[in-house]
Chain A
Amino acid sequence: MLTTISPMHFVVLSAALFAIGLFGAITKKNAITVLICIELMLSAVNINLVAFNMFVTPEAFIGQIFAIFVITVAAAEIGVGLAIMLTIYRNKLSVDLDDFDWMKW
């Protein structure tokens, strides 16, 4: 187990990274940190995709291409996300998520 690397290792690694990212996304006050943590979670997913690409369909490149799209979407997401944060910050002078309880209307 320590010496041979199986898909399981990558899956567990990705799960751990995802968990850390989720923990941060839920427990951090700063909105930008939350965005960072979402990037962590997306990266965890990418590890999974690439790992399975290697172990299941090495010739078809499905996992890698999926990962490329995930990276694309992540880039777009962080761009728009940061723009939204910026706008909110301009209006409310804060990016502390505890200051915002707008999701109840």
Chain B
Amino acid sequence: MVEFAMNHTWLVPLLPALSFLIIIFFTRPWPRLSSTVSIAFMLSSFAVATLAAYGVFTDAQFKHEPLVYAIRWFGMEGLNIDVGVLLGPSSAMMIFMVTLVASLIQIYSTGYMKGDPGYSVFFSYLSLFAASMLGLIISSNLLQLFVFWELVGLCSYLLIGFYTHKNSAREAAKKAFITTRIGDFGMLLGMLAIQIIFGTLNLYELGQIMPNFEDYTTAGMMTLIAVLLFIGPIGKSGQFPLHVWLPDAMEGPTPVSALIHAATMVVAGVYLVGRTMFLFVEVESAMYLIAVVGAFTAFFAATIAVTQREIKRILAYSTVSQLGYMMLALGVGSLTASFFHLWTHAFFKALMFLGAGSVLHALHHKADVWDMGGLIKKMPITGWTFVIGGLAIAGIPPFAGFWSKDEILLATFNEGHYLLFTLGAVTAFLTAFYIWRMIFLTFFGEEKPDNHPHESPLSMTIPLIVLAVMATVGGLIGTPMNPHWQEWIFFGESHHIVPNIPIMLVSIALAAAGIGLAYVLYIKDRNKANVKDLAIRFKPVYTLLYNKYYMDEMYLWFNHKVVDGSARMTHLFDIYVVDGIVNGLGAVTKGTGGILRYTQNGKIQSYALVFFLAVLVITILLAFNDTTSMALVLGGVSK
């Protein structure tokens, strides 16, 4: 059974893909049937994934050597592309996590999307997304990975723009697609460079030959490849400066935000960097770039999240921030910490998104946290699971987020990046603050009389409970006392991080301080006078943060002024030079045609004239050029 699952891991993406086809082609008119099919396939995929993961994590040989099998997709001279499965501890962990979260979210969606006209389509998209994401995870080959990478991008586009009647959703979908395309372009260039230089895109082979890359190329070229390849994750994982699409992606249905834009797709960038770690570790500057981008993104997004008012937007910036953490961990060389945070983040962020969805469901999509309050009395399950998620993300032991975040901070500290560590620590404080600000404003405090909340149905609360459990215990597999995670998921050599008690205490203290500050500002101070006072006193800062550092405006400005300006110039070039050449050629053709058409006037005498003229010309050429050819013309008269 386990053996079968491991040798047929391709079933994991294939089953959701099948369900996508079935729903699209057969069961679309019957919503209930569609969702049942989708969930059934997703659960069987989850079963296969669990078995495969079980197989991997019970056999010590997979610690260092992944299970690889592939078939040839196409081959030609110097370009052989396989499509196959690479099953190691990281991918086993990922398929388990993704199938679990995807199953839960599909179950949740049956409640959340109930009555939506696009119910079946929604499930087909979810299935397609799951298939693409799982295919991406088990890819043995960069090109295969890229194909799935683009497919998840497509699903993201489809699902963000799912409410096609909403203009903002359509715009957000386009924004997401185009922004990630920018990243994908860099990634594609990096892949091409790898193929040209190393002659293979096979991840396993690349891992083998990368340590002695000097045989193939120079360090400068490696840096270029690494940076280009990193642009893809910048786009996909919402790193600064391409993070702008991720908050807007919240226009999609909330389960989509939970599944795609929190738990799975956005971590694809992190996963890719983790997968190609062998490349990045060879280039110190690229690693440093990743670390700086990650730390800056984490801090930057956290500061924005402090001032946001919409519940999903806060969570979106929180996601950007947490992704920054993961990148930071990768940048300081700790695949273990990064993937650990990826793992825990998937649970608590999915939990919080689904909780937010539950709230929105109850409040009929009233999104501003200032309009909520005291919801925990009416929605106990949603409220308390959300609190668990908040504790987890804030980093309160023993919840999952504490262990992974601590791991990241510790790795950063141990690598000697003290500035980045400080940035990370401040972000941890900010994270605790803005999450608990949201929780206090939403679930505690005074109830608003306009709201008539009600607890969500079972189909929505059960996933919340399961995720809350995972968010609670998910981190326990990687504690300093119980370092299973560190034994399995690592790059290079596994290292047992010696627990650093002061750092742990600092991290707890910061989290507690953040929560405490939020409590003081938003619960104790009933009128929120201090907050309003602060907002007025630091109005410039507040405005800057509230407008997300004007990043969108900057992009707009850039687009309008620079891109449009250059477009106008190229437009002129197009009109006067390109069109000029084209039209000129046309005019020349027309003109010559106009002249030449008189030569074909259909009158036999004109033809005779031309004919004799031509004969004369030939005669002159032959007869007067040299004397030998004259004989030809005279027909042998001369001797």
- The reply to whether A and B meet directly (CB within 8 Å) is yes
Contact B609 A104, beta carbon cutoff 8 Å:
no
Smallest beta-carbon distance B635→chain A, Å: 10
Return the chain B residue nearest A27 by Cβ.
B605
The 4 closest A-B pairs by CB, nearest first: A101-B602, A104-B602, A103-B602, A26-B609
Contact A97 B609, beta carbon cutoff 8 Å:
no
- Which residues of B does A touch, CB under 8 Å? 600-605, 607-609, 612
| 17 extra interface residue pairs, beta carbon distance < 8 Å, beyond A22-B608, A26-B612 | A25-B605, A26-B605, A26-B608, A26-B609, A34-B605, A97-B603, A97-B604, A97-B605, A98-B603, A100-B603, A101-B601, A101-B602, A102-B602, A103-B602, A104-B600, A104-B602, A105-B602
Among candidates A22, A25, A103, A105, residue contacting B603 with C-beta atoms closer than 8 Å: A103
Contact sample, A vs B, 21 pairs, CB 8 Å cutoff: A22-B608, A22-B612, A26-B605, A26-B608, A26-B612, A27-B605, A34-B605, A97-B604, A97-B605, A98-B603, A100-B602, A100-B603, A100-B604, A101-B601, A101-B602, A101-B603, A103-B602, A103-B604, A104-B600, A104-B602, A105-B602
Q: At the interface, is chain B mostly helix, strand, loop or mixed? A: helix
Count of A-B residue pairs with CB < 8 Å: 29
Return the chain B residue nearest A104 by Cβ.
B602
User: Interface code A53-90, partner B: CB below 8 Å = 1, 0 otherwise?
Assistant: 00000000000000000000000000000000000000
**B residues less than 8 Å from A97 (CB atoms):** 603-605
**B residues less than 8 Å from A105 (CB atoms):** 602
Smallest beta-carbon distance A44→chain B, Å: 14
Residue of B601, B603, B609, B612 ringed by the most chain A CB atoms within 10 A: B603
User: Interface code A32-48, partner B: CB below 8 Å = 1, 0 otherwise?
Assistant: 00100000000000000
Among candidates A22, A27, A100, A103, residue contacting B607 with C-beta atoms closer than 8 Å: A103
Q: In the bound complex, what is the Cα–Cα distance between A104 and B597 (angstroms)? A: 10
Smallest beta-carbon distance B350→chain A, Å: 76
Among candidates A25, A101, A102, A104, residue contacting B608 with C-beta atoms closer than 8 Å: A25
Q: In the bound complex, what is the Cα–Cα distance between A101 and B606 (angstroms)? A: 10
Q: In the bound complex, what is the Cα–Cα distance between A23 and B609 (angstroms)? A: 9
**A residues less than 8 Å from B607 (CB atoms):** 103
Q: In the bound complex, what is the Cα–Cα distance between A103 and B602 (angstroms)? A: 4
**A residues less than 8 Å from B609 (CB atoms):** 26
Return the chain B residue nearest A11 by Cβ.
B637
- Which residues of A does B touch, CB under 8 Å? 22, 25-27, 34, 97-98, 100-105
Return the chain B residue nearest A29 by Cβ.
B605
Smallest beta-carbon distance A6→chain B, Å: 13
Return the chain A residue nearest B612 by Cβ.
A22
Smallest beta-carbon distance B607→chain A, Å: 6
Smallest beta-carbon distance B171→chain A, Å: 58
Return the chain A residue nearest B609 by Cβ.
A26
Return the chain B residue nearest A28 by Cβ.
B605
Smallest beta-carbon distance A5→chain B, Å: 17
Smallest beta-carbon distance B574→chain A, Å: 38
Return the chain A residue nearest B605 by Cβ.
A26
Smallest beta-carbon distance B110→chain A, Å: 73
Q: In the bound complex, what is the Cα–Cα distance between A103 and B604 (angstroms)? A: 7
**B residues less than 8 Å from A26 (CB atoms):** 605, 608-609, 612
Q: In the bound complex, what is the Cα–Cα distance between A101 and B605 (angstroms)? A: 10
**A residues less than 8 Å from B608 (CB atoms):** 22, 25-26
**A residues less than 8 Å from B602 (CB atoms):** 100-105
Q: In the bound complex, what is the Cα–Cα distance between A97 and B604 (angstroms)? A: 8
Return the chain B residue nearest A38 by Cβ.
B608
Smallest beta-carbon distance A26→chain B, Å: 5
Contact B605 A104, beta carbon cutoff 8 Å:
no
**B residues less than 8 Å from A103 (CB atoms):** 602-604, 607
Return the chain A residue nearest B607 by Cβ.
A103
**B residues less than 8 Å from A98 (CB atoms):** 603
Smallest beta-carbon distance B136→chain A, Å: 63
Q: In the bound complex, what is the Cα–Cα distance between A97 and B603 (angstroms)? A: 7
Smallest beta-carbon distance B274→chain A, Å: 73
Q: In the bound complex, what is the Cα–Cα distance between A26 and B616 (angstroms)? A: 15
Smallest beta-carbon distance A8→chain B, Å: 11
Q: In the bound complex, what is the Cα–Cα distance between A92 and B410 (angstroms)? A: 105
Q: In the bound complex, what is the Cα–Cα distance between A100 and B607 (angstroms)? A: 13
Q: In the bound complex, what is the Cα–Cα distance between A104 and B606 (angstroms)? A: 12
**A residues less than 8 Å from B604 (CB atoms):** 97, 100, 103
Smallest beta-carbon distance A29→chain B, Å: 9
Smallest beta-carbon distance B484→chain A, Å: 88
Return the chain A residue nearest B608 by Cβ.
A26
Smallest beta-carbon distance A69→chain B, Å: 17
Q: In the bound complex, what is the Cα–Cα distance between A101 and B602 (angstroms)? A: 4
Q: In the bound complex, what is the Cα–Cα distance between A26 and B612 (angstroms)? A: 10
Q: In the bound complex, what is the Cα–Cα distance between A26 and B602 (angstroms)? A: 14
Smallest beta-carbon distance A67→chain B, Å: 16
Smallest beta-carbon distance B472→chain A, Å: 89
**B residues less than 8 Å from A101 (CB atoms):** 601-603
Q: In the bound complex, what is the Cα–Cα distance between A27 and B608 (angstroms)? A: 10
Q: In the bound complex, what is the Cα–Cα distance between A22 and B605 (angstroms)? A: 10
Contact A104 B612, beta carbon cutoff 8 Å:
no
Return the chain A residue nearest B603 by Cβ.
A101
Q: In the bound complex, what is the Cα–Cα distance between A101 and B600 (angstroms)? A: 9
Return the chain B residue nearest A98 by Cβ.
B603
Q: In the bound complex, what is the Cα–Cα distance between A26 and B608 (angstroms)? A: 7
Q: In the bound complex, what is the Cα–Cα distance between A15 and B360 (angstroms)? A: 105
Q: In the bound complex, what is the Cα–Cα distance between A34 and B607 (angstroms)? A: 14
**B residues less than 8 Å from A104 (CB atoms):** 600-602
Return the chain B residue nearest A7 by Cβ.
B637
Smallest beta-carbon distance B159→chain A, Å: 62
**A residues less than 8 Å from B612 (CB atoms):** 22, 26
Q: In the bound complex, what is the Cα–Cα distance between A79 and B306 (angstroms)? A: 107
Q: In the bound complex, what is the Cα–Cα distance between A22 and B610 (angstroms)? A: 12
**B residues less than 8 Å from A27 (CB atoms):** 605
